[in-house]
Chains A and B, each alone.
Chain A
Amino acid sequence: MSDTTETRAGGDTFGFIRRNIREYGILFALIIIMAFFQVVTGGILFRPVNLTNLFLQNSHIVIMAVGMLLIIVAGHIDLSVGSVAAFVGALAALMIVKLGLPIPVVVVLSLMAGALIGAAQGYWVAYWKIPSFIVTLAGMLIFRGLTMWILQGQSIGPFPREFQMIASGFIPDFFGPDKPNTLSLILGWGAALIILWLQVRNRRREETLGIADEPFAFFVAKNALIFVALAWMTWALANFRGLPNVFIVMAVLVALYAFLSERTTIGRRIFAIGGNAKAAKLSGINSERVVFLTFMNMGMLAALAGLVVSARLNSATPKAGVGFELDVIAAVFIGGASMSGGVGTVIGAVVGAFIMGVMNNGMSILGIGIDYQQVIKGLVLMAAVIFDVSNKSKS
């Protein structure tokens, strides 16, 4: 532990990647997996129609993964999300189809119901210190049961077109119906530019302070890659049917939660609680309230996912959302979160969700049976965690 000064600006690229292998490894893994399936599927993976499907099919996992990331970082787990999603989906179906309530009201009530469920579970976890595994395992059973009870074992549907649009609609184009979808292009490219600008601005500030850690070449390559990927994806989607509504929802949520986790005091508190609960408490952090809110938030996101799923399937079914919790938790762990809490990133969890999504999609295109698919996904999860652990013990 020598007393070296901070002379790292513009260090060598390779060394930097090695130091931050966990952070970038997951992104490289996604790129490699995408490239692999792009080749073996003969270019089907990146076709606009398939790309659109990829987003539609995985939106609910991404929506829940950002909430689950916070739960896991706080040192907890939520097994109930699949059941809660199904329950809220059923509740929404009841309100729309049977009661004929207006859609916006239903959406608000559904999200409130989700938050209430999350709060109820969070209450026991946070204030009574009952292990979250137990509380949410109970929740998983309870809300699955209630879903079946509400639906009386039947499916409820179909929904009005307006509701379906949540999951399968595309943003309208105010500039006329011709392709490409101009509004999509503006939004997509605008977002890409804003991201680029934020990165450059941050880099500048770091440089003036002399604390820039990333080598310059790496900074340029990384941001060029992200910019080109976003711009190209926007172009591809705009030339098909435009950006899906749910894509916008997802993008906003990811940006919001990434910001929340990294840049706000509440985010910092969640990380501190997961990293060392006792130290956090002695630092004056109200851990109970933070954990409670984290669960409440998860319930709300599960409800949103429930709405998206039932809108996409155009019905609420008793079996909806079975196994979602496992996909969501797997995505978070593939994304580098630590089982013991305190470590993880929202972007990592999202990338983890897309790794699972691309593999599902790619393997389905190839016609690989569901049996092999499960085995392969299990192996990937295991590999990600082993990579993590071996990486940690090396450093």
Chain B
Amino acid sequence: MDPILEMRGITKEFPGVKALDNVNMVVRRGEIRALCGENGAGKSTLMKVLSGVYPHGSYDGEILYNGKPMAFRGIPDSEELGIVIIHQELALVPQMSIAENIFLGNEIATRGVIDRHETNRRTAELLAKVGLRESPETKVGELGMGKQQLVEIAKALSKKVDLLILDEPTSSLNENDSAALLRLLAGFREQGMTAIMISHKLNEISQVCDSITVLRDGATVSHHSGMVPESQIIKDMVGRSMNDRYPPREPKIGEVVMQVRDWTVADPLREGRMLVDNASFELKRGEVLGIAGLMGAGRTELAMSLFGRSMGDFRKGSATIRGKEVDLATVPKAIKAGLAYVTEDRKSLGLVLEDTIRRNIPLANLKGISTRGVIDRHREGQVARDYRKQINIRSSSVDQVMANLSGGNQQKVVLSKWLFSEPEILILDEPTRGIDVGAKYEIYTIIRDLAAAGKSIIVISSEMPELLGITDRILVMNEGRLVGDMPTAEATQERIMSIIIKSGHNLTEEDITPEEIEAEVAHV
């Protein structure tokens, strides 16, 4: 065994919090190591210690790299030795080209004058390595998330990399792009690169990782070399056994509540392309309806266009709620009609991050806490405290600022906000993205209880097991069209995937062979 990295007794304290408590980790040369743990377990902190974001001296413990003790003062120090970190939130400038992004801060230049030919030539080489067929001069903003992630990796490769750290690299990718990324990582391993991958997705971990380290509450709780059952990893992560990842429920489905007919929304940026194309569906009382599909299939577009035409150019279509046609032309009208929409991107679309829990919750229903435009602060506080207790928002008080909450608790606040608007129909867009296993279960429980209380719920999710686990019926969407509709009891991941693939023509550009499709389906 030839360790490339040893971290010994790493302890890192922030004012009032011990983020890392005597963490030990040894990484072998040439392996892919998975680093798992709930949000707040200390994974990112540990990687920041390793890459020098937290300089030597701000933590206790020792880092041995290639057998030598290291004292990084900052990221440049660690990068020089071949340790490169790719953060969860991509650090790309959308207005700049791929080539400009890759060599940002590291330009190929003579006396300050950039050599564009050499830059583009080297970029083309790097893009070939990561399998991205794009011109080096393409603006990054024009690329999808999957391709942006590849650019980020190409950027990492532009430096000398021996140890690549990826912080949830697939969190914003669809199944196809995730699979491609994982294949790429496996390829790098063949060439002798070592990688540490932080991930929540246990299926991906079992796919490419050689060993697993689990952190909980800032301490190493287990290390597994080779594969172990998912249930074991989950147990290590949450500190309790979780046989059931989804709460049991008995659906009580009633009459049809909402009907959408021929809903069509055009892409404002590309002439003639439809984001949503003649979508028609029904939603029943007490039903949890899932919408499956790849990223860019039009699911968010469908939801947001229903919710006050917040996305795309509305072309045609009608919506009826309880048999009456409703006007959903603006967000206030949609809310009045009984709709609520919990966004996919809670930080930039769902919350006022610098504000407190108390002030975020009533935002969609200020009338509910005010009389003639004057806010009753005591009522407001009461509402916030009730939700905090009812759906278990973990915080010091309702006056805590949103930015300081974990992802799962932020999501619970967004949910509270929409619950307080008392909707009949709740659309949840990727409700558990970036949330740890424990909080996911709580969110599922909330969804179940809402359905039991007679609300109708639409769940958009890219995690198929989740859809299979919590919904009653699943719609499949691809290229803006609804291409499948089945009871969840009859659905399988394979069936959904094959519907998507058979219905699509856009996949030709990805050049996916039948073998790859099979491999894909087997993985998910």
Interface, chain A (partner B; CB < 8 A):
1-4, 6, 8, 205, 209, 211, 213, 262-269, 271-272, 275-276, 278-286, 338, 342-343
A8's closest neighbor in chain B, by CB? B397
How far is B367's CA from A268's CA once the two chains are assembled, in angstroms?
11
Judge whether A263 and B355 touch: CB under 8 Å: no
Known contacts A1-B409, A281-B310, A282-B341; is A276 also within 8 Å of B351 by CB?
yes
Q: Which 5 A-B pairs have the closest CB atoms?
A: A275-B352, A265-B366, A283-B364, A284-B332, A284-B335
How far is B341's CA from A287's CA once the two chains are assembled, in angstroms?
18
A263's closest neighbor in chain B, by CB? B375
Judge whether B331 and A279 touch: CB under 8 Å: no
Interface, chain B (partner A; CB < 8 A):
40, 307-308, 310, 330-332, 334-335, 341, 343, 348-355, 359, 362-364, 366-367, 370, 373-375, 377-378, 381-382, 385, 394-399, 404-406, 409, 417, 421
How far is B370's CA from A262's CA once the two chains are assembled, in angstroms?
12
**A residues within 8 A CB of B405?**
1
| Count of chain A to chain B residue pairs whose CB atoms are closer than 8 Å in the complex | 100
Judge whether A283 and B367 touch: CB under 8 Å: no
Known contacts A282-B331, A284-B364; is A272 also within 8 Å of B373 by CB?
no
Min CB gap A129→B, angstroms:
15
Known contacts A209-B381, A264-B375, A275-B352; is A284 also within 8 Å of B331 by CB?
yes
**B residues within 8 A CB of A283?**
331, 363-364, 417
7 examples of A-B residue contacts, CB within 8 angstroms? A6-B396, A272-B363, A276-B353, A278-B349, A279-B349, A281-B331, A282-B350
Min CB gap A50→B, angstroms:
38
Judge whether B377 and A280 touch: CB under 8 Å: no
How far is B355's CA from A342's CA once the two chains are assembled, in angstroms?
8
How far is B364's CA from A114's CA once the two chains are assembled, in angstroms?
32
B381's closest neighbor in chain A, by CB? A211
Min CB gap B400→A, angstroms:
9
**A residues within 8 A CB of B335?**
284
Min CB gap B199→A, angstroms:
22
**B residues within 8 A CB of A268?**
359, 362-363, 366, 375
A266's closest neighbor in chain B, by CB? B373
Judge whether A279 and B375 touch: CB under 8 Å: no
A265's closest neighbor in chain B, by CB? B366
Known contacts A282-B310, A282-B341; is A3 also within 8 Å of B394 by CB?
yes
How far is B367's CA from A352's CA once the two chains are assembled, in angstroms?
33
How far is B348's CA from A281's CA once the two chains are assembled, in angstroms?
12
Min CB gap A243→B, angstroms:
28
How far is B360's CA from A285's CA once the two chains are assembled, in angstroms?
13
**B residues within 8 A CB of A267?**
375
Judge whether B352 and A276 touch: CB under 8 Å: yes
B380's closest neighbor in chain A, by CB? A268
How far is B352's CA from A266's CA once the two chains are assembled, in angstroms?
16
- A264 interface neighbour in B343, B373, B417, B421, Cβ under 8 Å: B373
How far is B377's CA from A213's CA once the two chains are assembled, in angstroms?
14
Q: Determine which residue in A1, A6, A285 has the highest number of CB atoms from chain B within 10 A of its CB, and name it.
A: A1
How far is B362's CA from A267's CA once the two chains are assembled, in angstroms?
13
B16's closest neighbor in chain A, by CB? A2
Min CB gap A8→B, angstroms:
7
B397's closest neighbor in chain A, by CB? A6
Judge whether A279 and B350 touch: CB under 8 Å: yes
A202's closest neighbor in chain B, by CB? B377
**A residues within 8 A CB of B381?**
209, 211
Min CB gap A303→B, angstroms:
24
Min CB gap B510→A, angstroms:
31
Min CB gap A260→B, angstroms:
9
**B residues within 8 A CB of A263?**
374-375, 377
Min CB gap B319→A, angstroms:
17
**A residues within 8 A CB of B350?**
279, 282
Judge whether B352 and A280 touch: CB under 8 Å: yes
**B residues within 8 A CB of A280?**
352, 363
Judge whether B377 and A282 touch: CB under 8 Å: no
How far is B370's CA from A264's CA once the two chains are assembled, in angstroms?
8
How far is B355's CA from A279's CA once the two chains are assembled, in angstroms?
12
Judge whether A265 and B375 touch: CB under 8 Å: yes
How far is B351's CA from A179's CA once the two chains are assembled, in angstroms?
56
Judge whether A343 and B352 touch: CB under 8 Å: no
**B residues within 8 A CB of A271?**
352, 355, 359
Known contacts A1-B395, A342-B352; is A282 also within 8 Å of B359 by CB?
no
**A residues within 8 A CB of B308?**
282, 284
Min CB gap B437→A, angstroms:
17
**A residues within 8 A CB of B397?**
6, 8
**B residues within 8 A CB of A286?**
330, 332
Judge whether A278 and B348 touch: CB under 8 Å: yes
Judge whether B396 and A4 touch: CB under 8 Å: yes
A1-B40, A268-B375, A278-B349 known; 6 new pairs, CB 8 Å cut-off, are A1-B404, A209-B382, A275-B353, A276-B352, A280-B363, A282-B331
**A residues within 8 A CB of B409?**
1
Judge whether A265 and B367 touch: CB under 8 Å: yes
**B residues within 8 A CB of A281?**
310, 331
How far is B403's CA from A343's CA once the two chains are assembled, in angstroms?
14
**A residues within 8 A CB of B396?**
1-2, 4, 6
**A residues within 8 A CB of B307?**
282
Min CB gap A273→B, angstroms:
9
Judge whether A265 and B373 touch: CB under 8 Å: yes
**A residues within 8 A CB of B40?**
1
Known contacts A281-B310, A283-B417; is A264 also within 8 Å of B355 by CB?
no
Judge whether B373 and A279 touch: CB under 8 Å: no
- B378 interface neighbour in A3, A205, A285, Cβ under 8 Å: A205
**B residues within 8 A CB of A285?**
331, 363
How far is B395's CA from A350's CA once the two chains are assembled, in angstroms?
33
How far is B377's CA from A342's CA once the two chains are assembled, in angstroms?
19
**B residues within 8 A CB of A278?**
348-349
How far is B397's CA from A8's CA once the two chains are assembled, in angstroms?
9
How far is B38's CA from A314's CA once the two chains are assembled, in angstroms?
69
Min CB gap B369→A, angstroms:
9
Min CB gap B468→A, angstroms:
29
Judge whether B374 and A1 touch: CB under 8 Å: no
Min CB gap A194→B, angstroms:
17
B362's closest neighbor in chain A, by CB? A268
